[in-house]
C-alpha cells in the first residue's frame, strides 16, 4: 500500500512541477512584456520632455526673431532632435499671435504667445543699459512703464549721417563739451515748418537749471540735466539720442519733468536728487525722430501679454 501511495504522489509532484514550469514561463513572458512596455513609456516620457524643452526654447528664440524682424512666416528649425515650426497671425498693426509647435515621432507640444509690438516712436525711453530713479509718464501725465524698453539687446539702426547732415545744415554742430543757453536754438522744437531742430554735440551736453532747450540732440558723450531750488529745473523739449554704450544720462530734477519727448541711449539713465527724474512721452517728438530709423522703422520692443501651453 505504501508503494502505491508513493507512485500516486510521484504523478502528483510531476504535475506540480509542470505547472511550476508553465507559471515560470508565463511570469517570464509577463516580465518581458512589462519591461518592454515600461521601456516604451520611458522612451515616450523622454521624447515628451524633449519636445516640451524644444518648444519653450524655440518660443524665446521666436520672440527675439520677431523683435529683429527676422522670423520667416511658416519657418521651421531642428532643436534637440525635435522639429519646430513657427506660425504668426497679425491681429493688427501692434498685436501679434505667435504659434510654436515642436514634435518628435508623433509626440508634439505647442505654445501660443500673444505679443505687443512697439516701434521706436512708441517708446519714451529706450536703452541698452540700466535705469535707476527715473519715472516715465505718458502724454496724459500718468506713470506708464510700458513706455520703457530697458536692457535692450541693441538700439534701432539710425541714419546717423542724415542726422549729422541736418545739424550741419542748421549750424548746430559743436565739438567738445557744450552748455546751451536758455531757449536754444529758437524756442521751438521746429527749425522750420515740419523740420525739427537737430543739434550734434561731439562731447558732453549739460543743460543748466532753469534753462529750456529744444529739438533733437545727438550726443556722443554724456548728458546732464541739472536743477536746483533757486533756479528751477533744466528741461529738454524733444529727443536725446546717445548711441554709445558708455554715454550716460543724469537727471537731477527733483521730481520735475527732465525731458518731454523721448530718450534713446546705449548707456545708463540715472535720476539723482531727492526724487526721481521724469521723462514724459510726446508722440509728436518721438515719431519725428523715428523717421531717421533705417528701413522705414521696425520693432523697437516686444512685450508678452499671454503665454498658453496648448
Residues near 59 by beta carbon (within 8 Å), at least 6 away in sequence: 98, 100, 111, 113, 307
* Least confident window among 11-15, 85-89, 293-297: 11-15
Strand partners, 92: none
Least confident of 37-41, 129-133, 219-223: 37-41
Spell out the residues 6+ positions from residue 189 whose beta carbon is closer than 8 angstroms to its own.
196, 197, 214, 215, 237, 238, 261, 284, 285, 288
User: What is the rounded distance in angstroms from the CA atom of residue 174 to the CA atom of residue 164?
Assistant: 11
Structure confidence at residue 123 (pLDDT): 93
Domain positions in the chain = 2-118, 120-296
Planar angle of CA 94, 97, 100, nearest 5 degrees: 145
The per-type count for the chain, helices as H runs and strands as E runs, is 3, 23
pLDDT of residue 17: 55
Residue whose C-alpha is closest to residue 119's, from 295, 293, 299, 290: 299
DSSP alpha helix (H) spans, the chain: 2-67, 160-170, 283-290
On the question of pLDDT at 11 being above 60, the answer is no
Asked if pLDDT for residue 70 goes beyond 80, the answer is no
State yes or no: pLDDT of 156 exceeds 80: yes
Top mean pLDDT of 19-33, 130-144, 169-183 is at 169-183
| Predicted local confidence at residue 42, as pLDDT | 47
Whether pLDDT at 38 is above 50: no
Q: Give the rounded percent of residues in the chain with a pLDDT score beyond 70.
A: 80
pLDDT category, 51, cuts 50, 70, 90? confident
For residues 170 and 303, the model is more confident at: 170
| Average pLDDT, integer, range 19-26 | 57
For the residues 85-94, what does the mean pLDDT come to? 81
Predicted local confidence at residue 6, as pLDDT: 44
> pLDDT tens across 161-200, in order?
999 999 999 999 999 999 999 999 999 999 999 899 999 9
CA atoms within 13 A on the CB side of 158: 25
pLDDT at 297: 56
pLDDT in tens, 215-237: 999 999 999 999 887 788 899 99
| CA dist 165 → 136, 171, 197, 265 (Å) | 31, 10, 12, 20
Predicted local distance difference test score (pLDDT) of residue 5: 45
What is d(CA 298, CA 284) in angstroms, rounded to the nearest whole number?
Answer: 18
Question: Mean per-residue pLDDT for 106-111?
Answer: 87
DSSP state, 93? S
Q: Which helix (H) or strand (E) holds 157?
A: none
Given pLDDT bands bounded at 50, 70 and 90, which one contains residue 41? very low
Q: Which of 101-110, 207-216, 247-256 has the lowest mean pLDDT?
A: 247-256
Q: What is the mean pLDDT of the chain?
A: 83
Residue scoring higher pLDDT (7 or 100): 100
Supply 75's cell numbers: 519657418
Q: Burial level of 48, CB count in 10 A (0-12/13-18/19+)?
A: middle
> What share of the chain has pLDDT > 90, as a percent?
45
Give the per-residue pLDDT at 166.
97
Residue 262: pLDDT over 90:
yes
Amino acid at each position: 500500500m505504501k508503494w502505491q501511495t508513493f507512485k500516486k504522489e510521484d504523478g502528483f509532484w510531476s504535475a506540480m512541477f509542470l505547472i511550476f514550469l508553465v507559471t515560470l514561463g508565463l511570469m517570464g513572458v509577463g516580465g518581458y512584456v512589462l519591461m518592454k512596455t515600461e521601456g516604451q513609456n520611458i522612451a515616450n516620457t523622454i521624447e515628451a520632455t524633449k519636445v516640451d524643452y524644444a518648444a519653450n526654447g524655440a518660443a524665446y528664440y521666436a520672440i527675439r526673431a520677431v523683435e529683429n524682424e527676422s522670423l520667416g512666416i511658416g519657418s521651421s528649425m531642428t532643436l534637440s532632435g525635435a522639429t519646430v515650426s513657427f506660425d504668426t497671425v497679425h491681429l493688427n498693426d501692434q498685436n501679434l499671435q505667435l504659434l510654436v509647435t515642436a514634435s518628435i515621432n508623433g509626440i508634439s507640444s505647442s505654445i501660443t504667445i500673444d505679443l505687443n509690438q512697439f516701434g521706436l516712436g512708441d517708446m519714451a525711453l529706450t536703452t541698452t543699459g540700466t535705469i535707476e530713479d527715473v519715472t516715465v509718464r505718458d502724454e496724459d501725465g500718468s506713470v506708464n512703464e510700458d513706455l520703457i524698453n530697458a536692457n535692450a539687446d541693441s538700439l534701432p539702426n539710425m541714419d546717423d549721417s542724415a542726422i549729422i547732415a541736418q545739424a550741419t545744415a542748421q549750424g548746430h554742430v559743436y565739438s567738445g563739451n557744450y552748455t546751451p543757453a536758455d531757449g536754444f536754438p529758437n524756442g521751438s522744437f521746429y527749425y522750420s515748418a515740419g523740420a525739427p531742430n537737430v543739434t550734434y554735440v561731439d562731447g558732453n551736453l549739460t543743460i543748466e537749471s532753469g534753462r529750456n532747450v529744444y529739438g533733437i540732440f545727438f550726443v556722443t558723450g554724456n548728458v546732464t540735466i541739472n536743477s536746483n531750488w533757486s533756479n528751477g529745473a533744466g528741461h529738454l523739449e524733444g529727443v536725446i539720442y546717445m548711441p554709445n554704450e558708455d554715454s550716460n544720462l543724469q537727471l537731477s530734477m527733483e521730481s520735475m519733468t527732465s525731458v518731454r519727448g523721448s530718450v534713446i541711449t546705449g548707456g545708463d539713465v540715472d535720476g539723482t536728487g531727492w526724487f526721481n527724474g521724469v521723462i514724459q512721452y510726446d508722440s509728436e517728438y518721438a515719431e519725428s525722430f523715428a523717421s531717421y530709423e533705417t528701413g522705414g522703422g521696425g520693432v523697437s520692443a516686444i512685450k508678452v501679454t499671454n503665454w498658453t501651453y496648448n
